[in-house]
Structure 1
């Protein structure tokens, strides 16, 4: 397919899209549908020739997260009408899908996912083994305990649906050029201004990289990190099987790493096996097009052996095709979309982890609106490319992680599941000491940080389940010690920026919703808002001097928040920003005996009068100088201690040595999650985000509406206030039954027979002995404590409902008396 609009190769366009797979063509389609018709798509060879052409074409809607589910749901809805709109056949068939469990744990995983789907009106039914057999008669039910039926799922022809997107784009003026290789992204003054192709330059105001497994290397030419790596993906297609029923739904057997798709009397068997095979590590051949990779039957054989037992018809069927083709995977199994951190105006949609077809419509729509409006249309934090870290472009890291990520698509998605590959990369100065104390390390943005501390004689490892895992009591002890004695937490992964200059106060105060024009030595808790009043970041700002500030944020937001900050510094402003995370580790000392411990290692005044809450200053600690900030994220008296890296070991040792007299224990992030849940402390990306305002999130106290100069998003918040009672609020949940299942995320909240909200995050509160969560709920007349108490509430967990209570204040120490003790 070549461009039919004009034979002239353009030198300008509004948007240039690099890559003619299903994602690139969908974005072209959706841009033109929005009225952005001066779109040029460049494909190095032919449309679909990289990965799209050999995709299995599964169209399912339930994904691991809310955002990904909503994008997939839209895609399925679009496929139902795309052929009629464009006149191009898509091969879309809504046959439904079955997700089948061989274990009770898998059945609970499916049930929790199905409950999440209810939040978006996703049609889903629980089915018994007998009902599974009715819908998929060739299956052998040996060991099957149940499953779930998704009637709106189906399948599509990947090449045809891509051509439909392309035709829809061309119908509205979009231009597509095949056999046009993009060699480089043009960048001037930190902004993408076009591309260099083998046919000449094309200048553009925005560029979109949709190059599949080529995306990482193309982005690197512009200094941009797109962490993805190709892996071999296998499936077989049988000869025609006369006994095979036609029009079977898609069948997923996660416990056997397999999926089945019937097509014209043949059966496609594909897999997502553990210990996958990375491919293309040393580069992708220049002429790679509609190519397949060498067969590896030995690698596929364990899957086939299980499959012939599960579907006996396979045992006698001939194999028409043994296919092996490359697909690209990201380090966290979530795709990459959005505007890149390094280069403004450069967007991406790539790294689809084998779900590119079913995500294509939602991704195309969301990214097109992002390009038009300059901001994402919905909260896309789960898949936003700004979550990545620069080290993740390391090829060896990507190679090793890819051996795991392919199989994880079908592996159990346990709560708190940790990656096993490519670990130990970012370590705090306390790492070895914490391991010696029995730390089980978890990972966040590549940082190793303790999840919990094993007891004497215990191996620090997780025994996964959906219930109380083996670390439950250990974490409970850490929490209770924090409430009665003092606990030391390693917070080195928290991100720190130094912002200084003559205009630092003015610029930061415009970005921050709270007033940071505070005295030197004060810490201000604040949010950064977008123009719609949504929360882009949740940070603290410490005033170090008249013109110098320290911003502290969470590990996963390191590049995202730095990008937001630097892009909102006006041109010509005298402001300088440095990321000082690596040189400034941090310990958090929390608990009622924290003051006494600090007095034992420092001559400074830590009294409430001498060191009030929200104060930050340098102190002597042992032989070191340390910045101490009186803050807490656990709801107890405490201080955050920042020190230059070379003093870190000394400070740690002094605290541990002196702490023995005060009952000092080490604490991990599982304990932090429990403690902050009891106090109702929000976590950005879960409880608050781009679509949530401070008023909805219960953070109105941190907004300075009347400060001079205003702030970004002020107008939107004022309109929200003027509109009357807040109809959507974050509330604190508590399950009535202490033995009820644990809350994690996305569980529906019911009232009077209908869903009124959804859980954002959950944990067991050990100080309260209760299963807790936070959730957004809605009421047209405003969400108040009276409304929450006026009728019983229930939370749906794994397809069952449990009584719950809700309130606006925290369950633990709602007046904050303990943190100000």
Structure 2
């Protein structure tokens, strides 16, 4: 079979993900599909994958993807005649420490929220399920009966056959050497014109993306496991064992065991620009010294291994992303990416392949894929030196305790505010590379499930904002300038709220997809008849930029001006007093009402002041040209405001019930459920038809926990009258309330509500209005 000159879709990469995309595209009726593989199918990373299929993920959308994978892998043989080797053997996760046991209790509660079977076990019960397990030093375990394993190579062949049966053509030993605009895919076997290109090239995806000018931030790391000789009593139905405190996983294979893991400090492999070719069914050199931490842990947990021989040492490179989430989506018009699967590619391949195929066919995602959307990265995330530094940490995070508010430590500091050097004593967070003050804390931060040691300092910042005045550096805000004669008309279609306002007005608005779900949550300030300032969260700027360019008229320009302006929030009852000393502009409520924006003098500087709030108090956001930023910040500090960070912002906004995009609202959440219909105008906008048809099957509400000692972090199970009823989306301990406040979706508002905080079930009061200042009196004075 010779390479065709044209095809509707060309998929690059013949591993589990590439063949899954081909399978699902053809299932959706797109049969003119060509898949190109530079070696043989599965010969890159797929063939040496461990093949674990663990169903439970941190997010509901991620869990649904893997649940679908498991269902698909079980039925494929009946369709294609090729077995996948899938076994539903169950999964056992053990805890050595009390902190890990808290995590497992939270995991069990998450499973209940997702209607996934999960059971908490004592150490003795864990030993009954896994007889060769050492249990004397365990705190407990959880049992996930739905977990399974699959043979990655067999799976890939079965998916490929399913795609072929519906018309797809597969070409092995066909290496892509270039991609020309249009797209013309250049290979060592000839060229092929395509309307759509899908980059599923695994470790090579970054290089393939570069051929089309698309940034795919990933970097390979060495990944290790061994296969043992046969062990008496080990049966084919032995469950997957995970001992995350020992960094290891174990599964059965031919009467022996596969022992692998995720060591705390990984070994990055070669640069993505210099991957060897050919590299087909190849492994790297053994490194027993590096593997020692994993092997010693396994010998401790499974003493039988001390008497068992090793048949094979596998060191196979795999690609990892900067945030430990895979990459899916449209990197450029009609150029899609499915890559960087961080050692969960086999478990994710079925669901991710279907999700990407549906995105290609529908022209937009059909479910919430925000956590894996390629648009979460900026071009600077593709720097290979930066990626190499980050990957060494990311691989080890797989089995680290996922502490609340944990910050990555490598490849930092990165993007910095102009006044970064003036934030002495800050504990830094990071968002899309921006260094941001979490809290001003004079002691090293210690992570825990309870109240962490920075909390008293954040409480003081919180109280200062409520009672006096606080100064926030919010430079990381995404800022887009939307300009053109058709800017108003275009934004009226994109935005749910009415932005046909007079210059100087600021509008809070949602931005929806066709399904009525949130694509963005922003403020839009009209600067002139043909010009608007679009302000979004730090992590959403490239997503928003792409959305606007797709939906606005071609005559409207959208320019990223994020780095041109620092932003300082001056918030609290004394904010007017502080600013009025520095400006000749009248800041009274009558002269400068809420929701308005003006250019003002601030000492010798000219800045834009917007009267708005995300903390529920009187205040202004100051948009400051970067050349004035240091001077303006020093001027503001002369009045001795309390410097404050994002932990305080979070607790303040939760007391007010303010939603956060990505946590409380996203592509699967509509304004009816989110309680934001007041932002929806009586006129046409993208997604209106879906909003009008939406029913309130669930509702986003506020909760206040009665017990001030209980800590919520987000993700906790909500119970109504003792039964699962929803999940907390975001939470924080709030100083004004004197306890934890939270937002969460529930399927009803009547009854007795409780939250499961790491196995500790406590009563929570449901609020349909904000717990703090429900009448908004504070912000309009």
Using structure 2 for the length normalisation, give the TM-score: 0.98
Q: Is 2:99 the counterpart of 1:105? A: yes
- For residues 296-333 of structure 1, what are the alpha-carbon distances to aligned partners after superposition, in whole Å with 9 as ceiling and x for unaligned? 11111122122212111111211111110100000000
Structure 2 residue corresponding to 1:499, chosen from 457, 478, 482: 482
- Alpha-carbon distance, 1:243 to partner: 5.1
- For residues 378-412 of structure 1, what are the alpha-carbon distances to aligned partners after superposition, in whole Å with 9 as ceiling and x for unaligned? 11111111111110100000000000000001111
Name 2:417's counterpart in structure 1: 428
Structure 1 residue corresponding to 2:173, chosen from 164, 176, 179: 179
The answer as to whether partners of 1:629 and 1:640 remain within 8 angstroms in 2 is yes
The answer as to whether partners of 2:263 and 2:293 remain within 8 angstroms in 1 is no
The answer as to whether partners of 1:39 and 1:174 remain within 8 angstroms in 2 is yes
The answer as to whether partners of 2:247 and 2:297 remain within 8 angstroms in 1 is no
1:701-716 alignment runs, 5 A limit: 701-706=678-683, 710-716=684-690
- Alpha-carbon distance, 1:767 to partner: 1.0
Separation (CA, whole Å) in 2 of partners of 1:232 and 1:413 = 23
The answer as to whether partners of 1:492 and 1:584 remain within 8 angstroms in 2 is yes
SS at structure 2 position matched to 1:695: helix
Separation (CA, whole Å) in 2 of partners of 1:749 and 1:85 = 40
Unaligned runs of 5+ in 2: none
The answer as to whether partners of 1:730 and 1:775 remain within 8 angstroms in 2 is yes
Separation (CA, whole Å) in 1 of partners of 2:67 and 2:760 = 24
CA RMSD of aligned residues (A): 1.4
Q: Is 2:319 the counterpart of 1:336? A: no
The answer as to whether partners of 2:226 and 2:310 remain within 8 angstroms in 1 is yes
Pairs aligned (count): 780
Name 2:337's counterpart in structure 1: 348
- For residues 471-516 of structure 1, what are the alpha-carbon distances to aligned partners after superposition, in whole Å with 9 as ceiling and x for unaligned? 1111111101111110000110001111111111111122111111
Q: Is 2:489 the counterpart of 1:517? A: no
The 3 A distance-change label for structure 1 pair 688 and 243 is closer
- Alpha-carbon distance, 1:185 to partner: 2.8
Q: Is 2:217 the counterpart of 1:232? A: no
The 3 A distance-change label for structure 1 pair 94 and 617 is same
The answer as to whether partners of 1:530 and 1:713 remain within 8 angstroms in 2 is yes
Name 1:698's counterpart in structure 2: 675
Structure 2 residue corresponding to 1:294, chosen from 272, 285, 288: 285
Structure 2 residue corresponding to 1:726, chosen from 696, 706, 721: 696
Separation (CA, whole Å) in 2 of partners of 1:676 and 1:185 = 47
The answer as to whether partners of 2:19 and 2:160 remain within 8 angstroms in 1 is yes
The 3 A distance-change label for structure 1 pair 396 and 806 is same
Q: Which range moves more in the overlay, 765-774 or 674-683? A: 765-774
The answer as to whether partners of 1:66 and 1:746 remain within 8 angstroms in 2 is no
- For residues 661-691 of structure 1, what are the alpha-carbon distances to aligned partners after superposition, in whole Å with 9 as ceiling and x for unaligned? xxx1111111111010000111111111111
Name 1:3's counterpart in structure 2: none
Structure 2 residue corresponding to 1:223, chosen from 213, 231, 251: 213
Q: Is 2:576 the counterpart of 1:595? A: yes
SS at structure 1 position matched to 2:581: helix
Q: Is 2:757 the counterpart of 1:757? A: no
The 3 A distance-change label for structure 1 pair 194 and 125 is farther
Structure 2 residue corresponding to 1:275, chosen from 235, 240, 265: 265
Q: Which range moves more in the overlay, 149-158 or 76-85? A: 76-85
Name 1:133's counterpart in structure 2: 127
The answer as to whether partners of 2:15 and 2:45 remain within 8 angstroms in 1 is yes
Structure 2 residue corresponding to 1:655, chosen from 628, 631, 636: 636
Name 1:325's counterpart in structure 2: 316
SS at structure 2 position matched to 1:759: strand
Separation (CA, whole Å) in 2 of partners of 1:104 and 1:773 = 25
1:66-465 alignment runs, 5 A limit: 66-188=60-182, 193-242=183-232, 244=234, 246-281=236-271, 283-340=274-331, 343-434=332-423, 436=424, 438-454=425-441, 458-459=442-443, 461-465=444-448
SS at structure 2 position matched to 1:337: strand
Q: Is 2:775 the counterpart of 1:792? A: no
SS at structure 1 position matched to 2:565: coil
Name 1:537's counterpart in structure 2: 520
